[in-house]
Structure 1
């Protein structure tokens, strides 16, 4: 009987924590609710099965539709569009102009419209752009389509990260993000295999050679987007596949980690938006993501070209196939590091562990001309590089409080990070082939700075937490309204950084 009373009290407490206007933490950030681990596991598994598969498919073809230009370049795109000098680099850069500009606005629109509609709409848009790339005949037309592709793809990576933060706890988020971030290295592998298969066709309608890659892959993307409109659930409260008790538990779990929060999905608010953008953790993590993206996006665009310089006598299809295995190994580490992050509820230590893999890989590129050594280096680089996408977004999400600040922080992180993508388009230049000393040296330096910044951020967060422990929370919050307290976000005296 006593156990029944405890269970009833616990259920009532969970329901109260899930209601609007009710906080789930005290003013020191301590959760007021204790959850049944078994019930949480069942709920988490249910959420995983319901939203992760379709999200992974969306991001898989987002990456393929972005990176297939590298496969098309090997299959004759440069020749057919009469590209000379730096024309290919310009074409890649155009994508990043719109991709960077629309990052934060797109993520705020995602919050306003709702991810359940917004993410499929973005996917439909870049799927149509991919199809359109198959019909371009001039460099100018290709640049125009790539600009639109960047506009639509800008919101998907931060949008998905923000979407997942509606469903998962802080410790759980990095691994769930890795489940779709893994689609980047797998997209590189699968994209190479798919491009090889497509190039064996004589034609696809009126499309031939490299144009078939864009046409076929774009049609697949459009189909997945249409399915997503019907199956993607916007938030726990609207999930038809959750019971009322499970909906309350899903909301209360998330709220129980957000100090001073009385509603999980707050309205758009300028002070909270600015807190998300200008958090020192957001800005520093964004810089780390920038350095990492020089490598990740550089591999996406140039790995087939790098493989061709390592194995110049192989056929085009063989070169495409050799670009796949490094991505498969990268996918394993993309899952492993965030999985460990989930178990230990730590992220920065895995920044520190990943960077040396990239440093050693690029040192091998710079120090050897042996084809086996250089090809082996691509595996090390992929192993260290791809996990940052999940870890960086989880890191900025974990270190703000409100939903609005979270949306702004993730958008800012990805916006700053993709400046690295723009830099990557100029990292491997034709005159530097076949050894690419400039590109490999740039990436080696970027990985080294990543290691130093990650260690410095870890030290600063622990140092600042010690300073926060000495604050008198009651006196600092005295006289403030609920709105003023919530607008403090990470400046709330009861908040602690989560490294």
Structure 2
């Protein structure tokens, strides 16, 4: 049986990539209960390291919000909207490099690509602790965007190499919940590290970057040993287990062709790359993600500032971010679990959008400033934001085919959508404190746009599936590969 990753990426990785289980063996079929145990076995080996990678990624990009309320802007003499530009510049390279990064992941293998970029952004984060002026901080944030660009689209695509379509969202949720935990730990770590103010002649906010950056580099070095490439080369799986999970992956993607046919095709297939850019789905996935990205970055970059504006000290504001992120983590995992269990993507995403809309509406609507109401709004919004992102990614992962188109389409989705973070970086201005009505209102508008787009996508997929049911005919294997999700036998996941 050929390697699954080779099936999707052999040509660009080269013939020496990975190894294939023996072909032609008669493997006994797995029962449903055995498949559940096999997926749990994979979970224990694959998900923890991915969650740690994303945890540190989100920690290192979001810790600037914690550093700022500890004195970063004052010590570097930032004036006007300079701090907002420091936040914004991260997203330009991050967004534009994401479509390229997934192709590089396939070229260099996940076990090399993911730890390597992690080492790079850990070094950049550490160096942020020694910047002396606005220009230095601006340059550091730009290169942080360059080095982090490959991680999240890489993780989302990587999950699709290990898990069938029906099991993807829960696993992405487990990984993404580490982002909300990063927010919680960021506040706690910033509270503890700020006590080092003056150690080595450095301000406390500098130690936030230095220590968290060093932690990332250390974990990255270890992750070279822990990140796996694909099921067929996983040493912790038996040959029978490899065959079973690869067969399950193939069964969940009826539009892929056989291993022998795929090995003759280039995974850098220009036709499929162009198809990802031209597909009607892509604009919807990008807008859906854009709306939620505005909300997630507004929260992750400004939550400490928003809470401080409610009348709390910097120290207490750091600590009060923890309950918000903890609640978001729980909701992320619970929604992901039930979404997979019930086989629903769009409806859960729509519910999350409604929660985010209500949360920001509570913060912006009252004519009189009520700090407790604003804090409650952040809880409700966070409870919708963090479950929504895995749902939107699982939806696009399920609905793009074949693999090259899926890799590029998801990278476009995340890259374009993440530009919402660039916008959100400028929503919250110092002169709008403590209510930040302009910032909350702008996020509300983009969330509303995402809600409309997600609803429209849901109904368009339903209509397309119904039409295909009426005119369905079987395609041969070659046509299935060429047509991908345009094959009449393909059904969009709802």
1:199-251 CA distance string (max 9 Å, x none):
01244545332100000000100111011001111111111111111111121
Residue 345 of structure 2 corresponds to residue 367 of structure 1: no
Deviates more, 1:104-113 or 1:205-214: 205-214
1:24-47 CA distance string (max 9 Å, x none):
xxxxxxxxx975212211210111
CA displacement at 1:488 relative to structure 2: 1.1
SS of the aligned residue for 1:230 comes to coil
1:265-301 CA distance string (max 9 Å, x none):
8722111223334333332022111011111011111
Residue 60 of structure 2 corresponds to residue 65 of structure 1: yes
Structure 1 residues 359, 54: closer, same or farther in 2, change over 3 A? same
Rounded Cα–Cα distance in structure 2 between residues aligned with 1:138 and 1:128: 19
Is the Cα contact below 8 Å between 1:259 and 1:401 reproduced in 2?
no
Which residue in the other structure is 1:322 paired with?
320
SS of the aligned residue for 2:162 comes to coil
Rounded Cα–Cα distance in structure 1 between residues aligned with 2:4 and 2:440: 51
Rounded Cα–Cα distance in structure 2 between residues aligned with 1:112 and 1:226: 20
1:105-124 matches, within 5 Å, as 105-124=100-119
Which residue in the other structure is 1:357 paired with?
355
SS of the aligned residue for 1:199 comes to helix
Deviates more, 1:196-205 or 1:182-191: 196-205
Which residue in the other structure is 1:490 paired with?
485
Structure 1 residues 205, 246: closer, same or farther in 2, change over 3 A? farther
Rounded Cα–Cα distance in structure 1 between residues aligned with 2:255 and 2:432: 55
1:376-430 CA distance string (max 9 Å, x none):
1110010111112211111111002222112112111101110111111011112
Unaligned runs of 5+ in 2: 9-27
Which residue in the other structure is 1:139 paired with?
134
Structure 1 residues 205, 255: closer, same or farther in 2, change over 3 A? farther
Is the Cα contact below 8 Å between 1:357 and 1:380 reproduced in 2?
yes
Is the Cα contact below 8 Å between 1:111 and 1:407 reproduced in 2?
no
CA displacement at 1:484 relative to structure 2: 4.9
Which residue in the other structure is 2:450 paired with?
450
CA displacement at 1:485 relative to structure 2: 3.9
Unaligned runs of 5+ in 1: 1-14, 23-32
Is the Cα contact below 8 Å between 1:275 and 1:489 reproduced in 2?
no
Rounded Cα–Cα distance in structure 1 between residues aligned with 2:2 and 2:385: 43
Which residue in the other structure is 1:268 paired with?
268
1:270-419 matches, within 5 Å, as 270-311=270-311, 314-368=312-366, 369-419=369-419
Which residue in the other structure is 2:466 paired with?
466
Residue 237 of structure 2 corresponds to residue 242 of structure 1: yes
Rounded Cα–Cα distance in structure 2 between residues aligned with 1:341 and 1:276: 26
Which residue in the other structure is 1:196 paired with?
191
Q: Tell me the TM-score normalized by structure 1.
A: 0.90
Is the Cα contact below 8 Å between 2:97 and 2:146 reproduced in 1?
yes
Is the Cα contact below 8 Å between 2:4 and 2:230 reproduced in 1?
no
Rounded Cα–Cα distance in structure 1 between residues aligned with 2:3 and 2:294: 43
Is the Cα contact below 8 Å between 1:207 and 1:215 reproduced in 2?
no
Which residue in the other structure is 1:84 paired with?
79
Structure 1 residues 87, 112: closer, same or farther in 2, change over 3 A? same
Structure 1 residues 19, 39: closer, same or farther in 2, change over 3 A? farther
CA displacement at 1:367 relative to structure 2: 2.5
CA displacement at 1:177 relative to structure 2: 0.4
1:3-39 CA distance string (max 9 Å, x none):
xxxxxxxxxxxx69979889xxxxxxxxxx9752122
CA displacement at 1:446 relative to structure 2: 2.0
Deviates more, 1:449-458 or 1:110-119: 449-458
The count of residues paired between Structure 1 and Structure 2 equals: 468
Which residue in the other structure is 1:226 paired with?
221
Aligned CA-pair RMSD: 2.1
Structure 1 residues 270, 247: closer, same or farther in 2, change over 3 A? same
Structure 1 residues 140, 307: closer, same or farther in 2, change over 3 A? same
CA displacement at 1:362 relative to structure 2: 1.4
Which residue in the other structure is 1:53 paired with?
48
Which residue in the other structure is 1:6 paired with?
none
Rounded Cα–Cα distance in structure 2 between residues aligned with 1:457 and 1:489: 19
Rounded Cα–Cα distance in structure 1 between residues aligned with 2:6 and 2:319: 53
1:412-467 CA distance string (max 9 Å, x none):
11011101111110111122222111111112222222222222211111111111
